[in-house]
Amino acid sequence: MKTRKISRVFKSIPTIEGAGVHLKRGFGYHQVPLFDPFLMLDDFHTSVPEEYLAGFPWHPHRGIETITYIIEGQVEHGDSMGNKGVIGAGDVQWMTAGSGIIHQEMPKISPSGTMWGFQFWANLPASQKMMQPRYRDVPAASIPLVVLESGVRVKLVSGTLNGVEGSVKEILIEPELMDVTVPPGVVFEHRIQQGHTVVAYLLSGSGTFDDSSDPYSYDYSGSGWMDLERRCRFGPETVVLYERDGDMIRVTSGEEGVRFLLLAGRPLGEPIAWQGPIVMNTREELRRAFEEYNNGTFIK
């Protein structure tokens, strides 16, 4: 097996979205198409209610899937298909917008005092952008926890590990989404589909994410023009994007261990036309989507 090398490393960037939610953007519009089929990763992590309670009021989506994963706190959601409820710590919401959905996601006061969660956007292929919308609530209790002999613990939302399948299956881009915790000084190896996009987002601790000891072997996008520090070991709020050649990743944790989200999927290689919450293939399709939203024919 060939171990993948790191292609690029990004530091997440503070931003404000929705009605005033403070978050860190791991990657987004300006990195297209590096992360194909993934479009965006947002990390909302704060203990200040004023930084999250405004939430994401009613807004449309078309042409994508949105995946929300909560580590701490609670988010109330509702949509134009009549789905509604609250997702909490460890829960996942996997929504396929397809031809169009209008929804809202409104954080509630966190029982622990901290709100911490993530939202990913995954693109849909052109042939499925106008598919019927669908919605999955994935409770924490239904998500398998795989514990390896090395002590590595993997919460398996989608994908396969050691013969165990994740809770979310039959997704068009063949995704893997795992929450991986590696004890101090342990190596985690995982087989990856050749050619698929693979991303790691660090939550805590530190680790090295390939076999290279050269901090100049990858492209680095820091958080500022004078951010000149380069390392082979990465810490929280760092995005690691792998090269597409290779069928295995190897992560070695530091003295405090490391926890990260692992995201992988099949690239689409299609044109992207993106404005706000709608992602299509052409500007004409975008124009039509916003016209339909404004004249009340958006929901099919």
DSSP 78-128: EETTS-EEEE-TT-EEEEE-TT-EEEEEEE---TTS-EEEEEEEEE--GGG
| Class of 6-295 in CATH | mainly beta
Predicted TM-score of the model (pTM):
0.96
pLDDT band at residue 229, thresholds of 50, 70 and 90?
A: confident
Per the prediction, the chain carries an average pLDDT of 95
Is the predicted pLDDT of residue 184 greater than 80, yes or no?
yes
Whole-number pLDDT of residue 134:
93
Name every residue whose Cβ is closer than 8 Å to that of residue 6 and which is 6 or more positions away in sequence.
Answer: 209, 210, 212, 217, 218, 240, 241, 242, 243
What is the Rg, in whole angstroms, of the alpha carbon atoms belonging to the chain? 19
For residue 30, which amino acid is it?
H
Check: CB of residue 46 under 8 Å from CB of residue 115.
Answer: yes
Query: Per-residue pLDDT tens for 167-181?
Result: 998 777 899 999 999
Which tens digits make up the pLDDT trace of 56-65? 999 999 999 9
Per-residue model confidence (pLDDT) at position 291: 98
pLDDT (tens digit per residue) in 15-32: 999 999 999 999 999 999
pLDDT at res. 228? 73
* Sequence-ordered list of residues with C-beta below 8 angstroms from that of 210, at least 6 positions apart, any chain: 3, 4, 5, 6, 242, 249, 250
- 40 to each of 143, 273, 277, how far by Cα in Å? 23, 14, 11
Q: State the pLDDT confidence band at 222, using cuts at 50, 70 and 90.
A: confident
pLDDT > 90? residue 257:
yes
Please tell me the predicted confidence (pLDDT) of residue 88: 96
pLDDT score at 115: 97
CA-to-CA dists, residue 5 to 73, 145, 251, angstroms: 35, 27, 11
Domain layout of the chain by residue ranges = 6-295
Average pLDDT, integer, range 184-212: 96
Pairing of strands 248-265, 187-191: antiparallel
Q: What angle do CA 293, 40, 193 make, to 5 degrees?
A: 120
In the chain, what percentage of residues exceed pLDDT 90? 89
* Mean pLDDT, range 119-148, rounded to an integer: 96
Dihedral in degrees, nearest 10, Cα atoms 234, 181, 264, 77: -110
The lowest-confidence range among 7-21, 26-40, 95-109, 164-178 is: 164-178
